[in-house]
Amino acid sequence: MAPSNALTPQSEDFPRWYQDVVASAEMADNGPVRGTMVIRPYGYSIWERIQRELDDRIKEAGAQNAYFPLFIPESYLAREAEHVEGFSPELAVVTHAGGEDLAEPVVVRPTSETVIGEFMAKWIQSYRDLPLLLNQWANVVRWELRPRLFLRSSEFLWQEGHTAHATAADAAAYARRIHLDVYHDVIASVMAVPAYVGIKSPRERFAGAINTLTCEGMMRDGKALQMSTSHELGQNFARAFDIVFQSEAGPSALCHTTSWGASTRLIGGLIMAHGDDRGLVVPPRLAPIQAVVVPVRDEADIMEAAQRLTAELRAAGVRVTLDAARGSFGRRVTDWEIKGVPVRVEVGPRDLAEGRVTLARRDDEVKEPVALTAVSDRVRALLEEIQSSLFEQATRRRDAATVDVGDLDAALDAAESGFARLPWAVVGAEGEARLNANAVTVRCLQRPDGTTPDSPDEPDLVALVARAY
């Protein structure tokens, strides 16, 4: 039987369920140009929370925010051949503007290594200017043939960091710091998603990079989602754009650069990692609305109590809203369930007469009566309980759907419903090509203890393979 909110059950059609949730939770709509999206206020409020969590950590890592142009001369991309080749099918190119043909076509940025490289070369003179740590919040365009809201769209929002360093070791250490202290920390501790961390295989790494670090989440249908990446670019872009510095010893040397990014795709990951047949489930640390006070009836004493509780919760530091809408109590509850608000405070006449209200958790719908005098303390405690519970549940699902195998046939079988883990030496280039031919990819390479290696050439690495979004 379909749930009361009329969402397609996950077990029946997971992609349709995803589309239903995006629409019913008022997250986003398709834009007028194919592949674009309109992010609605509730969806954007979640993005703002993600932005804040990432931005605070990026700044703690020493990077400063800047902004670079949307339009990039086509010749800039051509200066780094591997980079332009990697993005060529996705590029949007402007050839006509202002009523005439342009002397040189301009590309709508798919990413900004090339334009930022041009200015790094201008701004860096000596070792005293290093490291140069930049980040920008921007939109980018990658022309998608099979768009899906938040997951793959022709235009999306993200942050992209770009840094220049004096040594390869410093660049590698900084890329790893972003990988672990920024991305993995936000994904795990804020979004409550237990991502696998590792590096991409040479076949899967970012175009122009010498190493790509990744955080890979498992969605509730067993597929992988790449949630963030950090790239060591070596001296490839420094060589192409002449990003040099005078070393402390005197001679000039090429910089070592990095780039790293996370996008509105994280919202898609949030939906698919925690959502259920009733809609979104938003972890409390990320939720724009952590608690909603819902009056059972539109009566003066009930509304007065609801307003007082809302003020008390707000004063206690809870992100709270009062549902003052009229209409069916059941319909209003369903609407908040779809939006995934962690805690509902239901205020009804019977409870009020006994000096209490009812608290309902969104994650498991367990309800409990709580005295009016204890609501703020209990809600704050519940928020922490829900945050921990969501991470633990997602970890159990991921671990149960990750299978250790010994050969490619078993890996392909396991990838029908989750992740397969097998020795990287068993896969190799030929095995990876076979996996790809069956729509399965190497999501990341890890050391046997699950930590992130420095190189795909380290001995005894394991590969995590899966179908992916």
Please write the tens of the pLDDT for every residue from 100-140: 999 999 999 999 999 999 999 999 999 999 999 999 999 99
Please tell me the predicted confidence (pLDDT) of residue 329: 95
Backbone angles phi, psi at 65, to 5 degrees: -80, 140
Determine which helix (DSSP H) or strand (DSSP E) holds 171, and give its type and residue range: helix 168-177
CATH number at residue 410: 3.30.110
* Number of structural domains found in the chain: 3
Kind of pairing, strands 419-423 and 402-404?
parallel
259 plus 372 within the same structural domain: no
Give, as one character, the DSSP assignment of residue 213.
Answer: E
- 424 by DSSP, 3-state: which? helix
The rounded Cα 388 to chain-centroid distance in angstroms is 19
CB 431 within 8 A of CB 445: no
Indicate whether 2 pLDDT > 60: no
Largest CA distance in the chain: 82
Q: Which of 244, 274, 304 is the last residue of a domain?
A: 274
Q: How far is CA 195 from CA 161, 199, 291, 366, in A?
A: 21, 13, 27, 27
199 plus 50 within the same structural domain: yes
Please tell me the predicted confidence (pLDDT) of residue 91: 94
Decide if 393 is inside a domain.
no
Query: Could you tell me what percent of the chain has a pLDDT over 70?
Result: 99
**pLDDT, average across residues 307-331:** 95
The pLDDT confidence band at residue 145, using thresholds 50, 70 and 90, is confident
Q: What is the pLDDT of residues 346-386, one digit of tens each?
A: 999 999 999 999 999 999 999 999 999 999 999 999 999 99
Q: What is the pLDDT of residues 12-55, one digit of tens each?
A: 999 999 999 999 999 999 999 999 999 999 999 999 999 999 99
154 plus 185 within the same structural domain: yes
**pLDDT, average across residues 191-200:** 98
The domain in which residue 352 lies consists of: 291-383
Decide if 394 is inside a domain.
no
452 plus 349 within the same structural domain: no
165 plus 30 within the same structural domain: yes
208 plus 350 within the same structural domain: no
Please tell me the predicted confidence (pLDDT) of residue 5: 57
Backbone angles phi, psi at 310, to 5 degrees: -60, -45
Decide if 1 is inside a domain.
no
Decide if 91 is inside a domain.
yes
Q: What is the pLDDT of residues 443-456, one digit of tens each?
A: 999 999 999 999 99
Decide if 350 is inside a domain.
yes
Indicate whether 416 pLDDT > 50: yes
259 plus 328 within the same structural domain: no
Please tell me the predicted confidence (pLDDT) of residue 3: 39
Q: Could you tell me where the DSSP H helices lie in 340-446?
A: 349-353, 375-400, 408-414, 424-437
Q: Which of 248, 274, 300 is the last residue of a domain?
A: 274
96 plus 53 within the same structural domain: yes
162 plus 295 within the same structural domain: no
CATH number at residue 360: 3.40.50.800
Indicate whether 1 pLDDT > 70: no
**pLDDT, average across residues 72-94:** 89
Q: Which of 227, 248, 274 is the last residue of a domain?
A: 274
The rounded Cα 130 to chain-centroid distance in angstroms is 29
**pLDDT, average across residues 169-177:** 98
Which residue in 380, 295, 371, 301 sits closest to 343, CA to CA? 380
124 plus 225 within the same structural domain: yes
Q: Which residue has the tokens 């059609």?
A: 13
Determine which helix (DSSP H) or strand (DSSP E) holds 150, and give its type and residue range: none
216 plus 311 within the same structural domain: no
Q: Can you read off the two tokens belonging to residue 226?
A: 């790449």
**pLDDT, average across residues 134-147:** 95
Decide if 153 is inside a domain.
yes
Decide if 157 is inside a domain.
yes
**pLDDT, average across residues 220-242:** 97
CATH number at residue 176: 3.30.930.10
427 plus 361 within the same structural domain: no
Decide if 361 is inside a domain.
yes
